[in-house]
Amino acid sequence: MDPAELQPTPPRSSIELPETRGFRIKSRVLGPALTNDQLAHERLGKPIALAVFASDALSSTAYASEEILRTLLIGAGAIGVLAFSLLIPITLALVAVLVILIFSYRQTIKAYPSAGGAYIVTKDNLGLIPAQVAGVALLTDYILTVAVSVSAGVAALYSAFHAVYPYRVPVALAFIAIICIGNLRGVKESGKIFAIPTYLFIVAMFLMIGMGVFRSIFGDGLHYVAPADPVALEATGAATILLVLHAFASGGAAMTGVEAISNGVPAFKPPEATHARQTLVVMGALLGTMFIGISWLAATMHIVPSESSTVLAQAAHAIYGTTPAGHVLFLFTQAATMLILVLAANTSFADFPRLASFHAEDAFMPKQLTKRGHRLVFSNGIIALAIAGAIPVIIFQADVTHLIPLYAIGVFTSFTLSQAGMAKKHITDKETGWRLGLFVNGLGAITTGVVTVVIGYFKFTGGAWFIMILVPVMVVLLVRLNHAYENEKVELESEAAKAASEPILRYHSVIVLVERLDRSSARAIQYARTLSPNKLKAIHFAMDENKAELLATEWTRLGLSRLPLEIIECSDRRITRGVLQVIADAVRGAETEVTVLIPRREYHRFWHRFLHDHTADSIAKTLADVPHANVTFVPYHLGTPVGAKVAAEIVADTKAAVSVFTNEPISKSLDS
């Protein structure tokens, strides 16, 4: 055969098969099925990509400044106005980390234009096991992003509409389900849906900060906000280095989501890397500006975090005032915040399935995660994330306060590994400009490494301990999984070629299992004779002596006796075990290929199946353990055998044609 002949042929279509009901429902929910050649078209332009990949990072400005203030004010007792003077320096320190990260990730995208998340970079430069650590840490954070963002969004919702509070868990789960379905439909469409809230939030923030800046320069200046809860602010206090580091760790959550773009480079329209780097810088600039702006407002207006009103809400309220127009702007700010918080979860849905598929392609996660679904997205990964994200929501009853401390440690672990990998790459490859690259990524690695340690230390008792146990345990499990896959691969592929041309076994024995003499067994006998084996016999397991006797009499009377029927006592009624015994004997010596024919009646009404026991299936299952025992189901179709799955006319044709055969002498295999 010429290799040219081995080109794929288009599927033949001489018969038009009707669609199954399941497929029709799926197509209605998810949109029409996509074929592989449509894959390349599923790309994002920069504005949509910014909305898809930046919602996680940008939305964290909604709580990052507040988290820092809470640590400064509550974590160390009332240290008073000193807290407000520390807020801006700490914010600036975090923005400095952000700048380093943005420059580092620009390097990464340049070096890995096809797919440059922490996993690939770490694997490429530090090896597979560190890559598992980076990947698992990031996957954990993606799961938490879903839980935290959706819970925070629902909290914003029930703060406005208190009636929602008792239903916060179902509402959060419903949000997850909606985002999940959106993503199953395909990333481009979900981008369109999710672009709006991201841009609304950006507008809301810049409007608020801009108004603040304008008022402070040209207006009557910004006044202190009266604390919502009555607290006594002291004029003095001691700022220890520990407190500052603790506050810094609390603000680390602002950085989650920064890696999203580098992980999702292939989703950009070409030239992917260029577009991705531009989008990354835009995102960094937006995030930094908004973060500093919000911290500046909070510091200038001395906003004290409270249980009833977020810092952001207090700032908006103070700036827009109590006029009707001001109230509308306040509500707009709150709504935009709620929407982006809920939809930040979407970043995880864009990245988690892709990252999981990388793990799976390297055989560190189940292969099913590499499968593209109905709409060419990694459906299994999307569904897995929805389930994994729902679990913390249920456990912590959608309570953000309990979820936050688990957060950020994972993402900084992966930052560190990824930047260290990049630094190593510069040293190894020594490409043009490697010194600058090494400086950027080396600085990135050291910075993020220090931040990881700081977060791990200060958030340990709050919940980071769980992640610090979970990640290594998961890595061990994934490595075990990998060994299972690798062993299997080695065994399956060793000398496969030789095995494919091994001679056939000396004997071929065909055994027909006969329960009674009916058309179904008759079909199996007819098929058995097609196989021309060395040995052919029918076996009946006698659970009821009368039935066995009747069968034997019929067999002789009908002249079937040329096909030997063996009746085996089965007084313990364990037919499966009896069959196993017989077949285990038959394959003994490894010179015989045994084909076990099981007549199987196929019903076209599903409830008819329940009227019969499933001996055939349990026999097949048991025989699966015996080498060279090849189980064949010989179907006999009862009634009008038209499932939704098969065109009626094929079946009808076949049956009609079969039944007009005349009675000829029994075949070669029986005559010999």
Footprint of its own copies on residues 461-490 (CB under 8 A)?
Answer: 481, 484-485, 487-488
Those residues with Cβ within 8 angstroms of residue 531's Cβ, 6 or more apart along the chain or in another chain: 508, 510, 595, 669
Among 7, 114, 461, 546, binds its own copies (CB under 8 A): 7
- Residue 602 binds its own copies, judged by CB under 8 A: yes
Q: Which is nearer to its own copies, 306 or 526 (CB)?
A: 526
Is the distance from CB of 347 to CB of 60 less than 8 angstroms? no
Q: Which is nearer to its own copies, 465 or 636 (CB)?
A: 636
Q: Which is nearer to its own copies, 109 or 538 (CB)?
A: 538
Token pair 């009555």 is found at 230
Q: How far is the CB of 27 from its own copies (least distance, A)?
A: 11
- Residue 379 binds its own copies, judged by CB under 8 A: no
Is the distance from CB of 444 to CB of 104 less than 8 angstroms? yes
Q: Which is nearer to its own copies, 429 or 488 (CB)?
A: 488
Q: Which is nearer to its own copies, 249 or 551 (CB)?
A: 551
Report the C-alpha gap between 150 and 339 in whole angstroms. 9
Is the distance from CB of 345 to CB of 157 less than 8 angstroms? no
Segment interacting with its own copies, rule: CB under 8 A, options 341-349, 419-427, 443-451, 591-599: 591-599
* Segment 529 to 558, residues that bind its own copies, using CB under 8 A: 529-532, 542-543, 545, 548, 552-556, 558
Q: For residue 462, how many other CB atoms are within 10 A of its CB? A: 16
Q: How far is the CB of 529 from its own copies (least distance, A)?
A: 5
Q: Which is nearer to its own copies, 132 or 262 (CB)?
A: 132
Report the C-alpha gap between 409 and 407 in whole angstroms. 6
- Residue 372 binds its own copies, judged by CB under 8 A: yes
Q: Which is nearer to its own copies, 307 or 664 (CB)?
A: 664
Q: How far is the CB of 512 from its own copies (least distance, A)?
A: 10
Strands 565-569 and 535-542: parallel
Q: Total residues contacting its own copies (rule CB under 8 A)?
A: 144
Is the distance from CB of 90 to CB of 68 less than 8 angstroms? yes
Report the C-alpha gap between 175 and 342 in whole angstroms. 7
The angle that helices 46-59 and 187-217 make with each other, rounded to 10 degrees, is 60
Beta-bridge partner residues of 541: 568
Q: How far is the CB of 666 from its own copies (least distance, A)?
A: 6
Q: Which is nearer to its own copies, 435 or 562 (CB)?
A: 562
Q: How far is the CB of 363 from its own copies (least distance, A)?
A: 9
- Residue 40 binds its own copies, judged by CB under 8 A: no
Among 203, 270, 608, 618, binds its own copies (CB under 8 A): 608
- Residue 637 binds its own copies, judged by CB under 8 A: yes
Report the C-alpha gap between 363 and 375 in whole angstroms. 24
- Residue 570 binds its own copies, judged by CB under 8 A: yes
* DSSP letters for 227-253: PSS-----S-----HHHHHHHHHHHGG
Segment interacting with its own copies, rule: CB under 8 A, options 77-85, 292-300, 392-400, 661-669: 661-669
Binding mask 317-356 for its own copies (x = CB under 8 A): ----------------------------------------
Q: Which is nearer to its own copies, 309 or 595 (CB)?
A: 595
Segment interacting with its own copies, rule: CB under 8 A, options 13-21, 118-126, 137-145, 263-271: 13-21
- Residue 559 binds its own copies, judged by CB under 8 A: yes
- Please name the helix (run of DSSP H) or strand (run of DSSP E) that holds residue 629, with its range, or none: strand 629-637
Report the C-alpha gap between 263 and 120 in whole angstroms. 9
Q: Which is nearer to its own copies, 287 or 623 (CB)?
A: 623
Q: How far is the CB of 519 from its own copies (least distance, A)?
A: 5
Segment interacting with its own copies, rule: CB under 8 A, options 103-111, 202-210, 283-291, 563-571: 563-571
Among 612, 618, 619, 671, binds its own copies (CB under 8 A): 612
| Residue whose C-alpha is closest to residue 514's, from 534, 530, 536 | 536
Strands 535-542 and 592-602: unpaired
Segment interacting with its own copies, rule: CB under 8 A, options 15-23, 123-131, 322-330, 351-359: 15-23
Is the distance from CB of 254 to CB of 292 less than 8 angstroms? no
Token pair of 363 as six digits: 């055989």
Is the distance from CB of 198 to CB of 50 less than 8 angstroms? yes
Among 125, 577, 606, 619, binds its own copies (CB under 8 A): 577
Among 166, 494, 547, 618, binds its own copies (CB under 8 A): 494
Report the C-alpha gap between 6 and 232 in whole angstroms. 82
Q: How far is the CB of 561 from its own copies (least distance, A)?
A: 4
Contacts 24+ apart (CB under 8 A), 551-559: 551/514, 551/516, 551/517, 554/517, 555/517, 558/517
- Residue 508 binds its own copies, judged by CB under 8 A: yes
Among 325, 461, 504, 671, binds its own copies (CB under 8 A): 504
- Residue 611 binds its own copies, judged by CB under 8 A: yes
Q: How far is the CB of 390 from its own copies (least distance, A)?
A: 21
Report the C-alpha gap between 143 and 640 in whole angstroms. 49
Is the distance from CB of 340 to CB of 59 less than 8 angstroms? yes
* Segment 615 to 634, residues that bind its own copies, using CB under 8 A: 620, 622, 624-634
Give the Cα-Cα-Cα angle 283, 289, 293 (nearest 5 degrees): 145
Q: How far is the CB of 276 from its own copies (least distance, A)?
A: 25
Segment interacting with its own copies, rule: CB under 8 A, options 193-201, 432-440, 465-473, 642-650: 642-650
Q: Which is nearer to its own copies, 173 or 539 (CB)?
A: 539
Those residues with Cβ within 8 angstroms of residue 366's Cβ, 6 or more apart along the chain or in another chain: 360, 481
Report the C-alpha gap between 95 and 129 in whole angstroms. 31
* DSSP letters for 200-226: HHHHHHHHHHHHHHHHHHTSS-PPPPP
* Omega before 170 within 30 of 0, i.e. cis: no
Q: How far is the CB of 550 from its own copies (least distance, A)?
A: 11
Report the C-alpha gap between 300 and 215 in whole angstroms. 12
